[in-house]
Structure 1
Amino acid sequence: DVSSSPAHRGVGKTTLVMRVLETLRSSHLHLAVRGFYTREVRENGERVGFEVVTLDGRSGPLASSRIRSPESVRWPTVGKYKVDVASLESLALPELQVKEDTDLFIIDEVGKMELFSPAFFPAVMRVMESNIPVLATIPLPRYGRDIPGVARLRNHPGADVFTLNTGNRDTMRESIYNQLSRLMQKR
């Protein structure tokens, strides 16, 4: 079962995920959570990239507009950003291993950058096929075009999709919290 929050960048998906997680942790002691989130990297107020952060606090680059290393020439590009697939995989893939003692997975986000990793989507699907609750974020389709992997998650039979916008953040937070609490009680 999954709760996914599609929305455009900058609407507050990561903030919402972290607040839901905080509330879950305070109401479910000893909660075993695995996963990661992405956050912006800014220099002088300008976004210059993104990093992957595991829930135990380890972090590394996901994408950068400033990287100029010899190996980055071959890296995939999204807009002005070069995507560091190896860094993503070294941090995110171990967090996506299905283990029975896990109560909840956080996957923020499954988007274009993350899907450049050939191992990432299969790992996400293994998590989805487990009976462990998942809170994942996905981007909304742009210009009517969906990213194929994202579409598969959105249409997954166990998925409950909550669409986030600036006007519904508080009610969404409560709905997602309630849904995840119910799913965790069923286990």
Structure 2
Amino acid sequence: MAGPGKCFLVTGPPGVGKTTLIMRVFETLKASNPNLKVQGFYTREIRQGSERVGPESLRWPNVGKYKVDIASFESLALPELQVRENTDLFIIDEVGKMEMYSSSFFPAVLKVLESNIPVLASVPIPKFGRDIPGVARLKNHPGAAIFTLSTSNRDAVKDQIYSVLVDSLSKR
């Protein structure tokens, strides 16, 4: 399993900017280290005006008001979660309820953690005080560091995650 400080989890309410923060951290890391080898995926929201319609490429079965297309999701995400020797960092956006509809997804995430390659991932905030079991398992992982995002701390959290990732990557 990943060692201490190898699994960096970003959580917060829907729409707070978890994906945006992860993309900004990625862009900053790439700018400072153009040879950085990153694997993973992110999920872009589809919006109609200001209303969230659902995530791109996820459509069936239903999760709340959204549909999840498991085959499309797996064809995109699972190859990106295959551990390769030269990978420096995994980015997984997100490990949530929709992704868990794939029976292959969470085992692939666990294999990534076993690789000891740093992971930056987003996870949903607990609903009604209860985490999704897989998310709870990630949060309780000995190498997990959890960053709770709010509208008031986004820049500070971005800088903090960037710093811990630079430190973690320099030790590889």
Q: TM-score range by the shorter chain?
A: over 0.9
Matches within 5 A, 1:38-117: 38-51=43-56, 61-63=57-59, 75-117=60-102
1:165 to 2:142 alignment:
no
Counterpart residue number, 1:5:
10
1:19 to 2:24 alignment:
yes
Moved more, 78-87 or 108-117: 78-87
**TM-score of the superposed pair, with normalisation by structure 2:** 0.93
**1:162 is paired with a residue of what secondary structure?**
strand
**Over 6 Å off, 4+ runs:** none
Aligned-residue Cα RMSD (Å) equals 1.1
**TM-score of the superposed pair, with normalisation by structure 1:** 0.86
Letter in 1 for 2:28: T
Report how many residues are paired.
167
Q: Greater CA radius of gyration, 1 or 2?
A: 1
Counterpart residue number, 1:178:
163
Unaligned runs of 5+ in 2: 1-5
Letter in 2 for 1:4: L
With a CA cutoff of 8 Å and minimum separation of 6, indicate the structure with the bigger relative contact order. Answer: 2
Identical-pair percentage: 65
Counterpart residue number, 1:129:
114
Letter in 2 for 1:153: L
Shift of the alpha carbon at 1:45?
4.4
1:140 to 2:145 alignment:
no
Task: Write out per-residue CA displacement over residues 111-135 of structure 1, whole angstroms, 9 at most, x where no aligned residue.
Answer: 0000000000000111111111110
Shift of the alpha carbon at 1:29?
2.1
1:150 to 2:135 alignment:
yes
Counterpart residue number, 2:41:
36
Shift of the alpha carbon at 1:76?
2.7
Shift of the alpha carbon at 1:42?
2.1
Task: Write out per-residue CA displacement over residues 111-167 of structure 1, whole angstroms, 9 at most, x where no aligned residue.
Answer: 000000000000011111111111000011111111000000111111111111111
Task: Write out per-residue CA displacement over residues 79-100 of structure 1, whole angstroms, 9 at most, x where no aligned residue.
Answer: 1111111111000000001111
